Amino acid sequence: MQFFFEVLIGGLLSGIMYSLVALGFVLIFKASGVFNFAQGAMVYLAALSVVGCMEKGAPIWLAVILAFLVMVVFGVLTERIVLRRMVNQSPISLFMATIGLAFFVQGAAPLLWGNQPRGLDIGLVDEPIPYILDTFGIVVSRFDLAAAGIAAALVLVLALFFQYTRVGRALRAVADDHQAAMSIGIPLQHIWVMVWGVAGFVALVAGMLWGARNGVQFALTFAALKALPVLILGGFTSVPGAIVGGLIIGASEKLAEIYLPPLMQGVLEGNFGGIEGWFPYVLALVFLLVRPEGLFGEKHIDRV
């Protein structure tokens, strides 16, 4: 039982890490209907900018600010050069454009900062918390706990931003209906720049936490893969969905990885580990069969 809880808690905390990446997707999809495939590459760019600036001698707070500026500039340029010219195109063309963007960033970021894998020390040591280990015999990582705290704070800030600021309200209006928003005088382009900036900020946070966890390197772009089922489970348009989806995916995939292979081994010969790769997708699939718009997604009504 002790072990079960250890796996469960570890899974929930990993899930938060997935949510962080998923959040970036949600923000952009919500505001512009673009499924931004480049989010993974943005995480990479952000983390690389931080370590790159630190290597040049900047202290970490300055490096973070500089990296944020890089992300803002990136967002502005993306909007100016690509997205503005593609207004009113089909979602799939926009999706493809962001794939092109992802390639571009994957080439440009290492060109700018070098492709050497690097460590990122943000002052959190990833070790078991001794108190919990002694009392309950469960390993809970200090780092993961702190990351969860940061994620919670981030979501809170975003929620307040969307709910109570003028820009936030405009964002929600744009998300509901582009044309209606434009007709009441909301400047669509500014809003998009803003959203890409915010998504860049989320990518920065995700990039720093993932980078501190696994090292800053190209593989950070793979973090996006972990975010896809979270996104689908939680709904593309819901910030709380990304968090809850992350928790569900994280916990269930870890439990499945621990408990399912021995069961399968009982039935069939062989070693069936590594089901983490597909389990979240099948779970999301089963879930969608019951609720096709995701956990918190908006219900879509078709009219003929």
Partner 1 sequence: MFNRSRKIALMAALVAGAFASVPAQAAEEEFFMIPSYRVGPYGANGNAFYGGFVDYLNYVNMKGGINGVTATWEECETEYNNAKGIECYERMKSKARTSAGPIHTMSTGISYALIDKTAADHLPLAMMGYGRTDAVDGSVFPYAFPLVTTYQMQASAIVKFIAGKEALKGKKIVFLYHDSAYGKEPIVALKAEASLNKFTLVEIPVAHPGNEQGAQWQRIRQEKPDWVIFWGWGVMNQTALKTAQKMGFPRDHMIGSWWAGSEEDVIPAGDAAKGYMSATWNVSGKNVPLIADIEKTVYGAGKGNVQDKGKLGTILYNRGVSAAVLSVEAVRRAQEKYGKGKAMNGEQVRWGLENLKLDDARIKALGATGLLPAVMTSCANHEGSGKVKIQQWDGSKWVLVSDWIEGNKALIHPLFQASAAQYAKEKGITPRDCSKEK
Partner 2 sequence: MFYRETGQFKTSYGADQQIFPIRQDRIGVGLVLAVAFLVVPALAGEYWFNAILTPFLIFALAALGLNILTGYAGQLSLGSAAFMAVGAYAAYNFQLRVEGIPILVSFICAGLTAAGVGILFGLPSLRIKGFYLAVATLAAQFFIVWCLTKFPWLSNNSSSGVISTPTVKILGYVFDGARDKYLLVLAIVSVMALMAKNMVRSKTGRSWMAVRDMDVAAEVIGIPLLRTKLLAFAVSSFYCGVAGALYAFCYLGSVEPDGFSLDLSFHILFMIIIGGVGSILGSFLGAAFILLLPILLDVLLPELSSLLHLQLQGSTVSHIQTMVFGALIMFFLVVEPHGLARLWQIAKEKLRLWPFPH
Q: How far apart (Å, rounded) are the C-alpha atoms in residues 166 and 191?
A: 11
Q: Which is nearer to partner 1, 6 or 79 (CB)?
A: 6
Could you tell me the smallest distance in angstroms from the CB atom of residue 9 to partner 2? 25
CA distance 203 to 292: 28
Handedness of CA 257, 260, 266, 271 (dihedral sign): negative
Query: Residue 143, Cβ neighbours under 10 Å: how many?
Result: 17
Task: Determine the Cα–Cα distance for residues 238 and 295; give it in Å rounded to an integer.
Answer: 9
Within 166-195, the residues that bind partner 1 by CB under 8 A are: none
- Restricting to residues 127-166, name those near partner 2 by CB under 8 A: none
Q: Which is nearer to partner 2, 125 or 304 (CB)?
A: 304
Q: Which of 21, 31, 226, 284 binds partner 1 (CB under 8 A)?
A: 226
Rounded to 10 deg, the angle between the 188-214 and 166-176 helix axes is: 100
Total number of residues binding partner 1 (CB under 8 A)? Answer: 47
Q: Is 215 left (phi over 0), alpha (psi -120 to 50) or beta?
A: left
Q: Per CB under 8 A, does 117 bind partner 1?
A: yes
In the complex with partner 2, the residue whose CB is nearer, 149 or 292, is: 292
C-alpha torsion sign, points 152, 49, 121, 128: positive
Say whether residue 175 binds partner 2 (CB under 8 A). Answer: no
Judged by CB under 8 A, does residue 225 bind partner 2? yes
Size of the site for partner 2 (CB under 8 A): 52
In one letter, which amino acid is 30?
K
Q: Does 102 bind partner 2 (CB under 8 A)?
A: yes
In our burial notation (b when 16+ CB lie closer than 10 A, e otherwise), range 167-202 reads ebebbebbbeebeebeeeebebeebbbbbbbbbbbb
Taking the C-alpha atoms of residue 108 and residue 128, their distance in angstroms, rounded to an integer, is 37
Residue 144 touches which of partner 1, partner 2, none (Cβ within 5-8 Å per kind)? partner 1
Distance of closest approach, residue 280 Cβ to partner 2, in angstroms: 9
* Pattern 83-112, partner 1, x by CB under 8 A: -----------------------xx--x--
CA distance 92 to 104: 19
* Residue 217 binding partner 2, by CB under 8 A: no
Residue 126 CA to residue 212 CA, distance in Å, equals: 9
**121 near partner 1, judged by CB under 8 A:** yes
Q: Which residues bind partner 2 (CB under 8 A)?
A: 35, 81-82, 85-86, 89-93, 95-97, 99-108, 110-111, 115, 225, 228-229, 232, 236, 270-272, 274-275, 277-278, 281-282, 284-285, 288-289, 292-294, 297, 300, 302-304
